[in-house]
Each structure stands twice: as C-alpha cells, then as structure tokens.
Amino acid sequence: MKSKFLALALMAMAFFAAGTAQAGVVLSNMGANGLTDTSGPTNTDILANNWIASGFTTGADALQLDWVSIVGFNNDLGTKTVAIYSNNAGSPGTLIGTSSATTAALKNVYQFNFSGVNLAASTSYWVLPEAGLSWYLESANAAPTAQNASGFSYNGVKTSTNSGSSWNTSVFNYTIGISASPAAVPEPAITSLVCVGGIAFMRRRMKK
C-alpha cells in the first residue's frame, strides 16, 4: 500500500515539474500561424476619440500573452502599440498592459509583442490599438476562431466615439492573430528541490 502511495506521489510531482505544454497561436482568422493576411479591401481608421476593441475569452489554462498580429493600412506611419484591457460588463475595462512599439509603414501584417501580461483562465479581455492606426475590419471576413485546441473564443467588436466612456456593438470582425504561451513555471533546480524534499518527507511519514 505504501509503495502504491509513493508511486502516485512521484507521478504527481513529475507532472508538477513538467508543467503544461500548450503554446502558440490561440485565436486567429489569419491562418494557423496568425500572420497570414486574410483581409480584403475594407479598412477602418481609428481616430483620436474613435476606439475599436476586439474581445476574446481564454480557455481552461492560464497563459502569458506573447503577441497580437493585425493588418495595417498604408497610412500607418511611425511606431504604434496595442493595449490589452480587462472586461467590464462586456466592454473594455481597465488597462492591463501595452505592447512594445512596432514600426508601421505600408499595408502589411504587423506583430505587437507583449512582456509580462498574464491571461487568467476562462476570462474575457479586449484588444485595443493605439489611436491613429488604420485597422482592417470586415463584415465578410470570417470571425477569429480557437487554434491549437486553446479553448479561446471570440467576443466580437465594440466601438466607442467618446474615448471609451460608452461602447457600441459592431457587426465587423477584426483581422487578428493572438499568440500565448504557458505561464511561468518554477526553475528546474527549484522544482527538483521541491520534489526531493517531498519524497524525503513522505519516507519519514511512512516509517512512523
């Protein structure tokens, strides 16, 4: 009986040490790599007070946001950023993080990288680009869907003409890709120490 218990404990510790393996593109209508231009001729300018946000809900795992990709129009000049907001009653709420700046020039797929932005499991968020971008939004374009069995879902588009004071639902879809990776796990050395300490503790308990 004790040997079975020890085996089960070792299996649990090995699972803890390994962590999850899920990573990559989690939501996209820009191909499985999240970087393929699937947009048509329609674009929408994002003016100083005209905010356009795209919502999504995460799957069963907590992940770290890596990057968001979009298709920019040819009047996007200079460095631009994308922000992530929490959800507030089905609309953007509080700012969570902002991407590093990406230089935009011609119509192209642009990738906005994030650092230290954690996405909780089964939680809704909103992608909101910097004012001044010309973003591809299309009613005919297929909505983004979950990739790599991520369990993510797309929550549509909300627009605001008063800098986020109120929001309206849009019929358009973002042309977007979102990539995330497993949240940080303990360093291998620390995990090994935890496992060794746990085994020693269980052996002492079983000897009593």
Provide CATH code, domain 21-184: 2.60.120.820
Residue spans of the domains in the chain: they are 1-19+187-208, 21-184
**Whole-model pTM?**
0.80
- Tell me what pLDDT residue 193 has: 42
Residues 61-81, mean pLDDT to the nearest whole number: 90
Placement of tokens 């591809």 in the chain: 136
Q: Is a pLDDT exceeding 70 seen at residue 115?
A: yes
d(CA 67, CA 91): 21
Residues 105-132, mean pLDDT to the nearest whole number: 94
Q: How many residues does the chain have?
A: 208
Query: Out of 123-127, 171-175, 186-190, which region has the weakest mean confidence (pLDDT)?
Result: 186-190
Q: Is a pLDDT exceeding 90 seen at residue 183?
A: no
Q: Report the DSSP beta bridge partners of residue 57.
A: 124, 153
Which of residues 72 and 90 earns the better pLDDT score? 90
Q: Is a pLDDT exceeding 70 seen at residue 203?
A: no
The b/e string for 136-167 (b: 16+ C-beta within 10 A; e otherwise) is bbbeebebbebbbebbbbbbbbbbbeeebeeb
Q: Report phi then psi at 5, rounded to 5.
A: -60, -40
pLDDT in tens, 120-145: 999 999 999 988 788 888 888 899 99
DSSP classification of residue 179: E
SS3 168: strand
Q: Count the neighbouring beta carbons within 10 Å of the beta carbon of residue 91.
A: 19
d(CA 68, CA 99): 9
SS3 163: coil
